[in-house]
């Protein structure tokens, strides 16, 4: 069983709070209106979700009324089952992931052993969405948007326009490289980030799924890194490099310049290669014509 804990609420802006939760160092957010209280993500188990809702009510003096799940991974999603009497919003693809098998690191047996509950307890959002949803919390409207897939098959951004705060889920991570898994769609990921940064102001704050709150420059840098990850993998395939060749280069001469740490690249490679090969990217026949 992994160690569960919830940190202290940190105020981001007026009526907006973040708390970090273990075992996955996930950020859970709180947006407080005159009437409603909206929680962003739910922690890693029903028990943790229940405790987060209790801690939120303790902070605000009113119960949580709305919950948004930014995507289907365990540390964001699995707490939802412990939070009662709320309107819960998530991408409709979450409903396909109630068996606990979607997450790259978590299968049903691991859930029982490490997270301490049975995956049959999982529940989906009461109010599944596809593209956009607005929630009026009283004096404050929260917009929830799906701008295409990137990190997962169910990525949502949560925007609080009056305070210029954006919750990104794992579309942005600042504690390490963003995670690329079997359900990631790296090709469309940068474009989805553009959807929020193109409307952001210099003072906009971004709350990532993991790691410290950042400004637009860090998000733009990460967007560029994700884009470069995709194009570099494409170049490697065109040069005729296999995954083993790339890993050997990562561990040795490092002739290929990657935007992520070697371990992150090695983890992402099978998913990048599968997606690129499915698009028909193959070794280029022209490359041996050196200098021409």
User: For binding to Zn ion (CB under 5 A), which residues are involved?
Assistant: 73, 170
Handedness of CA 118, 123, 129, 132 (dihedral sign): negative
Helix, strand, coil tally for the chain in percent (to 5):
35, 20, 45
Rounded to the nearest whole angstrom, what is the least distance from the CB of residue 152 to Zn ion in the complex?
Answer: 6
| In the complex, least distance from residue 165 CB atom to Zn ion, rounded to whole angstroms | 20
The residue (of 72 and 165) whose beta carbon lies closer to Zn ion is 72
Q: Which residues contact 181 (CB under 8 A, 6 or more apart)?
A: 103, 104, 151, 152, 271
List the structure tokens of 43. 């922690």
Could you give the CA distance from residue 226 to residue 271 in angstroms, rounded to a whole number?
13
| Minimum distance of Zn ion from residue 70's CB (angstroms) | 8
Q: State how far the Cα of 57 lies from the Cα of 183, in Å rounded to an integer.
A: 34
Closer CB to Zn ion, 170 or 187, in the complex: 170
Please name the residue that has the structure tokens 């098959």: 153
28 bridge partner residues: 19
User: Closest distance between Zn ion and the C-beta of residue 13, in Å?
Assistant: 24
Nearer to Zn ion, 133 or 151 (CB): 151
CB of residue 151 vs Zn ion: minimum separation in angstroms? 6
What's the closest the beta carbon of residue 269 comes to Zn ion, in angstroms?
Answer: 18
Least distance in Å: CB of 241 to Zn ion? Answer: 28
Helix (H, G, I), strand (E, B) or coil at 210: strand
Q: Give the three-class secondary structure for 284.
A: coil
Q: How far is the CB of 89 from Zn ion (least distance, A)?
A: 17
Cα separation of 70 and 158, whole Å? Answer: 8
Of 77 and 117, which CB lies nearer to Zn ion in the complex structure? 77
Q: How many CB atoms lie within 10 A of CB 188?
A: 15
Of 44 and 227, which CB lies nearer to Zn ion in the complex structure? 44
Query: Residue 51 or 153: which CB sits closer to Zn ion?
Result: 153
| CB of 142 closer than 8 Å to CB of 160 | yes
Length of the chain: 292
Of 139 and 212, nearer to Zn ion (C-beta) is 212
Closest residue by Cα to residue 36 from 136, 137, 134: 137
Q: Give strand pairing partners of 214.
A: 206
Nearer to Zn ion, 55 or 73 (CB): 73
3-state secondary structure of 169: strand
């Amino acid at each position: 069983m992994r160690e569960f804990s919830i940190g202290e609420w940190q105020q981001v802006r007026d009526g907006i709070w973040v708390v970090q939760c273990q075992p996955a160092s996930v950020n859970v957010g709180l947006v407080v209106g005159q009437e409603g209280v909206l929680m962003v993500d739910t922690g890693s188990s029903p028990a943790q979700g229940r405790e987060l809702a209790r801690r939120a009510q303790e902070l605000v003096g009113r119960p949580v009324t709305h919950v948004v799940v930014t995507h289907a991974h365990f540390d964001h999603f699995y707490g939802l089952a412990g939070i009662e009497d709320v309107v819960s919003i998530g991408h409709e693809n979450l409903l396909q992931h109630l068996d606990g098998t979607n997450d790259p690191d978590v299968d049903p047996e691991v859930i029982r052993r490490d997270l301490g509950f049975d995956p049959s307890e999982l529940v989906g959002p009461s109010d599944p969405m596809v593209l956009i949803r607005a929630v009026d919390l009283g004096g404050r409207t929260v917009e929830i948007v799906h701008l295409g897939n990137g990190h997962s098959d169910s990525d949502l951004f949560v925007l609080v326009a009056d305070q210029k705060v954006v919750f990104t889920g794992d579309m942005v991570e600042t504690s390490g490289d963003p995670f690329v898994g079997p359900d990631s769609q790296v090709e469309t990921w940068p474009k989805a980030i553009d959807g929020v940064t193109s409307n952001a102001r210099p003072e906009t704050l971004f709350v990532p799924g993991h790691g410290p709150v950042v400004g637009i420059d860090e998000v733009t840098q990460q967007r560029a890194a994700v884009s470069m990850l995709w194009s570099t993998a494409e170049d490697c395939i065109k040069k005729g490099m296999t995954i083993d060749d790339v890993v050997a280069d990562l561990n040795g001469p490092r002739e290929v310049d990657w935007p992520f740490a070697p371990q992150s690249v090695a983890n992402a490679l099978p998913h990048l290669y599968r997606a690129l090969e499915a698009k028909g990217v193959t070794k280029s026949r022209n490359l041996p014509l050196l200098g021409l």
